[in-house]
Amino acid sequence: MNETGRTKLLAVTGNPILHSRSPLLFHALFERFALDAAYFRLAAGSAPEALRSFRELGLAGMNVTFPFKTEMAALMDSLDEAAMRIGGVNTVVKNGSKLKGYNTDHIGVSGSLRRRGIGVDGRKCVVLGAGGAGRAAVFSLVRENATVTLVNRSHQKAAEVASSLGCRAAPWSVLPALLWDADILVSALPPGIDVVKREWLPEGIVLMDANYVQSPLAEIARGSGHPYIGGEEWLLHQAIPAFNLFGGACPESEPLPDIFRSQRPPVIQKGNVSLIGFMGSGKSTIGRKLADALGFSYCDTDDLIERQAGRSVGEIFRIEGEESFRVREKAILADLRNRRNTVFTCGGGAVVDIQNQKNLRENSLVIWLHSAIETCLKRIETGSRPLLHEGKRDTEAWELFEKRRGIYARTADLVIRNEKSVDEAVRKINEEIDRTIHH
């Protein structure tokens, strides 16, 4: 437990975010260094929306990826030197009521090169892309006394970034000549952008890419024998200082966990989608529409229990007791392994049972639908929920959420904020699934 006696909640946010492997990495670090924390993917449409969820969920920290890094920097109460110079934040840490933004991306560059025994002092380096990752690469290489040239499709933007970080800028047209005289090439371009030709590269040039999927440089390296450092290593080396900012204590010399040999990030190939979350978060309404959108069948666990028992959930609680309800619920969730192409909506307390958590995670893409507690209570008809009593609804709801939020976080593959329209939440889930499948 952390100093408040609660599981520390952490996340990574971006758009899209379901493809991220950061949870695999951080959970490996939590286990190795005995940090009581849960880390999940937080979907959002903007940096301000991500921060609203950050505060509502009581997060202690958050990693930030494309395209929110620059926008997030403007929302912080303070910035470390790297974030200020680079103009982007990839790590947010809560300290009391204040948020501080850090940038550890530059350590991903220097750490990867150092681990490979590649010195950069005095070497000629070319960086492609003047976005957040490109700026971090320039910042890192300049600090290591390299001679750096930044190339970007907008030469004006490259010139502005180069001026602020102390390197040169050059137009795309001279890229072949620049590369022929370079020692290190760092690509910080979006996935799949192929602008470098194999014949432009001199023997021995080191190739480095911020991306760990769809990397044209990886293809070139496989066919030419050039030394190659992929986005996997960049991700690992920037994550260690972020982990330490979150309260960990991992030395730089620690062997890094090999998360890229493990399973792919969770997508629809698990066969089912399960919606979890607090009562009133909109699971049933969204679940039906999501099933229609995906062409899946639909199963509401509470509805199925009522049909099997021949009485309402409230009556089951009153006559048979909560334990009887949970036994019925557990039997339904155990059947997940036999289902395919089904959207399940689960009662708010389904994830409290450890075996239920296991069944959900192993057999479905688990989405935590989150709404502010005040919003949930407005959606709940008075007297309709057996765990909330008249005159105590607000207090009991907050107490229940505090007990369950860490469990939701440990179980979920993805968190979607449901404060707007149902159609917007369904659209966002569909978008995350589709973009991850094709990432």
Q: Which residues contact 141 (CB under 8 A, 6 or more apart)?
A: 109, 120, 125, 127, 148, 167, 184, 186
Task: Outline where DSSP puts E strands in 323-364.
Answer: 342-345
Locate 248 and state its tokens: 């960990």
- Tokens 């924390």, located at residue: 37
Angle at 66 between CA 65 and CA 67, to 5 degrees: 125
User: What are the helix (H) ranges across 74-154?
Assistant: 81-86, 105-115, 132-143
> CB–CB of 346/339 below 8 Å?
no
- Please tell me the distance from the alpha carbon of residue 339 to that of residue 289, in angstroms, as a whole number: 19
In one-letter notation, the amino acid at residue 201 is: L
- Please tell me the distance from the alpha carbon of residue 359 to that of residue 355, in angstroms, as a whole number: 6
> CB–CB of 42/53 below 8 Å?
yes
Between the alpha carbon of residue 97 and those of residues 58, 93, 314, 372, the distances in Å are 11, 10, 40, 19
Q: At what angle do helices 132-143 and 105-115 cross, to 10 degrees?
A: 50
Q: What is the 3-state secondary structure (H, E, C) of 198-246?
A: HHHCCCCCEEEECCCCCCHHHHHHHHHCCCEECHHHHHHHHHHHHHHHC
Instruction: Please list the active-site residues.
Output: 69
Locate 298 and state its tokens: 């639909």
